[in-house]
Amino acid sequence: MPHATLNHRALYEEVAEQLRQRIFQRELEPGSWIDELRIAEEFGISRTPLREALKVLATEGLVTMKVRRGAYVTETSEKDLRDIYHLLALLESDAAAEVARAASGAELAELQALHDELEGAADQHERFFALNEHFHIRVLELADNRWRQQMVGDLRKVMKLNRHNSLFKRGRIADSLAEHRAIMAALRERQPEAAAQAVREHFANGLQAAG
């Protein structure tokens, strides 16, 4: 019995990841209803693991479930975005301050290497986005608070619903790079308040671009 349960869990988690990527890649657009029958047939599964997967995505905020109607890809309002960016600014600026205070020289060198990769990817939008996220997540990992990491992870998933309207806006990548330089400089110089302020400004500018 335990073996069957593990298999079931692996299946619905895999289905959730497949759907998550389709949402991020805009194959499933915000506001669009999920055709459960078609997707179950496409994946060759019953609707039970599919519905379990949709519950996972609903918990993450990526889909919205309606009683007797099914699930649709969540649409983010302007207020949603303001609230998400506000919380990310609070949580990630706090993490950056902690890294500026406590990171080892090797950890700061690792962040510098990630930043250097980011600098080299300014004309590769998808790679830039992935490296940008990796940098932010690594700062969180180095700050070593798993509850903060979990909260930011959920918020960032919902933020991705709007990413093409913000990061790829004309001039935003260049501005984002300049903001990352300021964050990295404050981290290198071990200035917690400057690091936190640079992160807050980064998110404030990101929100403005997303509007």
210 exposed, middle or buried (CB, 10 Å; 0-12, 13-18, 19+)?
buried
| 7 and 93 fall within a common domain | no
pLDDT at 161: 83
Roughly what angle, to the nearest 10 degrees, separates helices 78-102 and 192-210? 160
pLDDT at 35: 95
Are the C-beta atoms of residues 128 and 116 closer than 8 Å to each other? no
| 20 and 123 fall within a common domain | no
Of the three residues 15, 50, 73, the one that is the final residue of a domain is 73
CATH number for position 152 = 1.20.120.530
pLDDT of 114 above 70? yes
Radius of gyration of the chain (CA): 19
| 156 and 118 fall within a common domain | yes
Locate all alpha helices (DSSP H) within 25-124, ordered by sequence.
36-43, 47-60, 78-102, 105-119
pLDDT of 169 above 60? yes
Of the three residues 25, 50, 73, the one that is the final residue of a domain is 73
| 55 and 148 fall within a common domain | no
| 148 and 205 fall within a common domain | yes
Are the C-beta atoms of residues 72 and 63 closer than 8 Å to each other? yes
For the residues of 145-194, what is the DSSP string, one character each?
-HHHHHHHHHHHHHHGGGGGGTTTSTTHHHHHHHHHHHHHHHHHTT-HHH
pLDDT at 159: 86
Q: pLDDT: is 13 or 169 the higher one?
A: 13
- Per-residue confidence band for 181, with pLDDT thresholds at 50, 70 and 90: very high
Best-predicted range by mean pLDDT among 102-106, 124-128, 166-170? 102-106
pLDDT digits (tens, 9 = 90+) for 139-167: 999 999 999 999 999 999 888 887 655 55
pLDDT of 16 above 60? yes
Of the three residues 27, 44, 73, the one that is the final residue of a domain is 73
At residue 32, the 3 state secondary structure works out as coil
Average pLDDT, integer, range 21-49:
92
pLDDT at 2: 41
Q: What is the DSSP letter of 33?
A: B
pLDDT at 107: 98
Q: How far, rounded to the nearest angstrom, does the alpha carbon of residue 117 sit from its chain's CA centroid?
A: 19
Average pLDDT, integer, range 122-130:
88
| 64 and 143 fall within a common domain | no
pLDDT at 4: 41
| 40 and 109 fall within a common domain | no
pLDDT at 125: 84
Range of the structural domain that residue 168 is part of: 78-210
b/e 137-175 (16+ beta carbons within 10 angstroms → b):
eebbebbeeeebbebbebbbbbbbbbbeebbeeeebbee
| 201 and 106 fall within a common domain | yes
| 82 and 45 fall within a common domain | no
| 30 and 125 fall within a common domain | no
| 15 and 36 fall within a common domain | yes
| 197 and 143 fall within a common domain | yes
Q: pLDDT: is 89 or 5 the higher one?
A: 89
CATH number for position 27 = 1.10.10.10
pLDDT digits (tens, 9 = 90+) for 74-101: 998 889 989 999 999 999 999 999 999 9
**Number of domains into which the chain is organized:** 2
pLDDT of 6 above 50? no
